[in-house]
A and B are shown apart, each in its own frame.
Chain A
Amino acid sequence: MTGKRILAIAAHRLAILVYIVFALFPLYWLLKVSVTPNKLLYSEGIRMWPSRTSFEHFDFVLKHSDFPIFFKNSLIVSGSTAIIVTLFASTAGYALSRFQFRGKYALIGLMLLTQMFPLVMLVAPIFKILSPLGLTNSLTGLVIVYSAFNVPFATFLMQSFFDGIPKDLEEAAMIDGATQFGAFRQIILPLTLPGIAATLGFVFTAAWSELLFSLMLISGNASATFPVGLLSFVSKFSVDFGQMMAAGVMALVPACLFFLLIQRYLVQGLTAGAVKG
């Protein structure tokens, strides 16, 4: 009986180990090639760790390529998008959580609709609309587009956080003479700070990862975001794997940082994103 039990535990741990290896191996390989000197890359082939490591690829990418610009552009776009979306989503999420009003279900329906149709449908018309406004090839244009794409999901997410806060709190504040907006700003918002952080994280990650619209709307290096820069680098210098992977590691860092920030809220975020739309 105990022998069987030990066997079951061993099988469980082994299966978990397999999952960890599968999840991390690609990222490990990215890191490994990025620190392998070019001379060793081909001679040592598929060794698990190079006999000598160097940061020459990072050095090159940081000093002699446009990646710092791409990184900065992506940071501006994702950061602004996250802030705008969280601001808008917190007021709209509050309205959905606390008010009954005419048109509420029309608004929810509209937001669900935006989650159902393929966004690739909008590539051409959005290009046509933004082009005469001078918003193609501009970071502002990207921020506007990404904000709209992420705001429905973020609103549902914020609503779920507001739903978790008892109504008595702002009722008490309003009996003490606060206005509704005052109660929202001074009592409810501070209580939802973890939710706000999670929303910021989700939207930042989504904007940081977006590919198709930045490919379509941005051309030229000055306002390229990280995905556009990395892909054009890959198609131009497809032999310099060390440098490409060093750039890839750079793109991974902010995403991983934000993942740690939102990890506790993954369940809430994914259910708001998946089940509601």
Chain B
Amino acid sequence: MPLTAAIRPGHQGDRRPLKKRFADAAAPYLYSAPVLILIVTVMLVPLVLGISYAFRDVQLLKPFSGGFIGLDHFVTLSKDQAFYRALRNTLWWTGASVILQFIFGLILALLLDKPFFGRAIVQALVFLPWAVPSFLAGLNWAWLFNPVVGPIPHWLFALGIMQAPSNILSDPQLAMWGPIIANVWWGIPFFAITLLAALQAIPRDLYEAASIDGAGPVRRFLSITLPFLAPTIAITVLLRTVWVSNFADLIIVMTNGGPADRTQIVASYIFTQAFKRLDFGYASAIALVLLVLLITYSMLIVVLRQWLLSKD
């Protein structure tokens, strides 16, 4: 029921003229129409079209392609070693990035939770990486890892960790750490900001009461802070996992999947197939598999949540 009807009780009620009643009923639809049209035409239609591409031979450079080929793409995909490597890399990339972002984000939030002189400025400075465009964050870190202009290889060499100041981005064993470190740098503020908001919602007198009862800082953290933060931690980590696993910008900018596909994740593999090889059909088939995997992951989370809730 539109608001207008609710707030004019008895005043006009249903005796409003028909035209006015119609206008009131249409109002919410008119307010949301532009958004709806935009989402349906630019996101929903391409999504459906993309799913259909997965079963068709769509190649930009072949003018007469477009016919249905059934499950051919998926048969090819099941034998595609590069795809399996990309799947493993996605797990590694997502797991390492999210865990490190979370741990360092939590520590930062705990540090910022206490009032101290200059906190507002410190907060602005440590959250700044979040505002850096992802392509620039990627380039910036690629330059830092580059021995020609960047200091990191020379530091690692001086510390004796590296035999010679070389670029870790071109070392197949280490290359993945480049985008992961850039991603951690870029993503710490996200976790810190959300966890800080949750921390500040914890009632302060709980800590005082616990101190009076003789609980030390570790005990207070484990019995008050962690239980209060748990729901926020769970939801941000789970959503972030989905987001990071799809986040290909840093990899495309820093290594483009190389060396020898060692940093290729599924999302960057899809982009490479579409952008470099212009094979839209195969790219869409991989994308569909990724979508199914992500849906499965989300369903598992929902089921797990229900199971945990029912245990209490």
A residues contacting B by CB (< 8 A) are 12-13, 15-16, 19-20, 22-24, 26-27, 29-30, 33, 41-42, 45-46, 87-89, 91-92, 94-96, 98-101, 103-104, 107, 110-111, 114, 116-129, 144-145, 147-149, 151-152, 155, 167, 171, 174-175, 180-181, 205, 208-209, 211-212, 215-216, 226-227, 230-231, 234, 241, 244-245, 248, 251-252, 255-256, 258-260, 263, 266-267, 270-271, 274-275
Contact = CB atoms under 8 A, between A and B. Distances in A.
A94, A110, A121, A231 — which one has the most chain B CB atoms within 10 A of its CB? A121
Closest 5 CB pairs of A and B: A148-B42, A259-B131, A209-B133, A95-B31, A124-B280
A152 B44 CA distance: 13
B128 A92 contact: no
Contacts of A274: 190, 194, 235-236, 239-240
Contact of A212 (B131, B194, B249): B249
12 contacts: A20-B125, A26-B140, A29-B140, A92-B36, A95-B32, A99-B28, A118-B294, A124-B58, A180-B27, A259-B128, A270-B190, A270-B194
Contacts of B7: 167, 171, 174
A215 B288 CA distance: 22
A274 B267 CA distance: 20
Given A24-B128, A147-B38, A122 B46 contact: yes
Task: Identify whether the interface residues of A are mostly helix, strand, loop, or mixed.
Answer: helix
Given A26-B144, A99-B28, A215-B275, A230 B47 contact: no
B143 A33 contact: yes
Contacts, number: 274
B207 to A, nearest CB: 15
A219 to B, nearest CB: 11
B122 A16 contact: yes
A88 B38 contact: yes
